[in-house]
Structure 1
Amino acid sequence: MRLTLYKYHGQNKDYLVYDTIQNHKKLNESMIRMLCDRNRGLGSDGLITGPFLEDDTIGVQVYGPDGSEKNEDSKAFPVFAKYLKDNLYVTRERFHLQTPEGAVTIHYDNEDATDITVTTKDAAGTVSSSSSRATAIGTVILSPEYLESLGA
């Protein structure tokens, strides 16, 4: 079974996006580490998985290059928002993205969704917004042989 990943850049970080609708392979910590490795893998600062669609909610999970969950990594959210727009999962100008840490609000500041504002609310109720840029780098299709070399 092939695996398709998308590479995006935002806030001086590169992320791999693993679309859970297009791909059906379960990634483990070891595979994520290998994929993110800049010498032996594709190289990235983390891996974003999603969208997890339920009713009118879009969910996301973020993993660090060590394979551990890094769901508080807000630098990944604009990247994933750009991916969602590029692949027509989202057509609205504003929507909510559900993370394991809670919902964040995404606003596309321009038509091509390269400029994005993310608004979060912490446990104390403090609201903060940050604007950033996100761009697509490319698509990578991995062969079953490569996946075997990762121990998949």
Structure 2
Amino acid sequence: MTQYSFFKMHGIGNDYIFIDCRYHEFPPIKEVAKTWCDRNRGIGSDGIVLILLSSEATVKMRIFNTDGSEAQTCGNALRCIGKYLDDRNELSDGSFTIETIRRIVHGVIIKKGTEESIVAVNMGLPVWNPREIPVSGYNDPVIQQEFIVDKDTKFLHSCVSMGNPHCVIEVDDVQNFPVNKYGSLIENSHQFPERTNVGFMQLLDAENMVLRVWERGSGETMACGSGACAAYATWSKINSSISPMFIHLKGGTLKLSFSEKDNSIIQEGSATFVFNGSAET
């Protein structure tokens, strides 16, 4: 048996098991993910995040879903890592960079707290090229195109990457929408060769949106940072707007805006420490 120290954190309810692997080996993720992430028989989380050494950034992040598959990015996990580094006094001025599979993410501590801090991260530019998302069957950006689920059900969907693939669909009543049913069907559609995250959004007004996200490999979660960015990018694209917006998810609210420098998306929200622990394999 091998013991691994970990800490639990969440970004507006999107919770992860974090392991600082900069100076020791990390566990066999595919073997432990389902057990550790199980909310009834394990630690309980939406996934496992590894913090690693990086030659290009403050640290490197690898993130794994509850089924053991590797994800590409996560806004909530990025904010949590920023707080973790700040709590350990590893940030001289509150700013940090994190290497992910797709890009280097820049972040800054907005408000420091003992258990909860407010952190902003630059999630980069939304990618609309179907080949880069990836989404099959299209040469041009997929914006409000018809998606046929079955003979009785079809939606208007948009596809975008925020470092990971997202399908975004606007619905009239998101609170009562059957996210589990359609999230799973769309995630595993042949249209998405790497599967996809699926966001169901309902616009309240020009500054507020309610969002539920079915995450690839994990199912519906309390919040999804990259999913919020994807929904915000989609709404902005459809409405030709660059106004800031508050995205309301099950676990809390994120503020989204476009950077004045290059129109990349800035995500601001809480990062909360829960507890330290150890687990064995």
The separation in 2 between residues aligned to 1:54 and 1:82, in whole angstroms, is 20
Corresponding residue of 2:18: 17
Higher Rg of the two aligned structures = 2
Q: How many residues align?
A: 144
d(CA) in 2 for partners of 1:56, 1:93: 14
The 2-side partners of 1:55 and 1:99 are apart by 10
Q: Percent identity?
A: 22
Higher relative contact order at CA 8 Å, sep ≥6: structure 1 or structure 2?
1
- CA shift, 1:56, in A, is 5.2
Q: Which residue of 2 is the match for residue 69 of structure 1? A: 70
Residues 111/75 of structure 1: CA separation in 2 closer, same or farther (3 Å cut) = closer
Partner of 1:135: 272
Q: Secondary structure at the match of 1:66?
A: coil
Deviation at 1:64, TM superposition (A): 1.1
- Separation in 2 of the partners of 1:60 and 1:89? 16
Matches within 5 A, 1:28-67: 28-54=29-55, 57-67=58-68
Write the distance in 1 (CA, Å) between the matches of 2:5 and 2:72. 22
Offset of 1:39 from its aligned partner? 1.4
CA RMSD across the alignment: 2.1
1:139, distance to aligned residue in structure 2 (A) = 0.4
Instruction: Give a deviation string over 1:16-53, Cα, whole Å, max 9, x none.
Output: 10110354243231212211111111000111101323
**Aligned partners of 1:53, 1:130: CA distance in 2, in Å?**
23
Equivalent residue number for residue 27 of structure 2: 26
Question: Which residue identity lines up with residue 85 of structure 2 in the other structure?
Answer: L
Structure 1 moving runs of 4+ over 4 Å: 123-126
Provide the C-alpha distance between the structure 1 equivalents of 2:272 and 2:101, rounded to a whole number of angstroms: 24
| Structure 1 gaps, min length 5 | none
> Taking structure 1 as reference, are residues 76 and 120 closer, same or farther at Cα in structure 2, changes over 3 Å only?
same
The residue type paired with residue 22 of structure 2 is I
Of residues 116, 120, 125, the one that matches 2:119 is 116
TM-score with structure 1 length normalisation?
Answer: 0.83
5+ long unaligned stretches in structure 2 = 128-261
**Matched-pair contact (CA < 8 Å) for 1:103–1:120:** no
Deviates more, 1:27-36 or 1:123-132: 123-132
Paired with 1:25 and 1:62, the residues of 2 have a C-alpha distance of 12
Task: Assess if the C-alpha contact under 8 Å between 2:97 and 2:104 holds in 1.
Answer: yes
TM-score, normalised on structure 2?
0.47
Q: 8 Å contact 2:75–2:267 — kept in the other structure?
A: no
**What is the deviation of 1:3?**
1.0
Structure 1 distance, partners of 2:26, 2:78, is: 23
| Range that drifts further, 109-118 or 42-51 | 109-118
Distance 1:32-1:96 versus aligned 2 partners, 3 A rule: same
Whether the 8 Å CA contact 1:3–1:23 is kept in 2: the answer is no
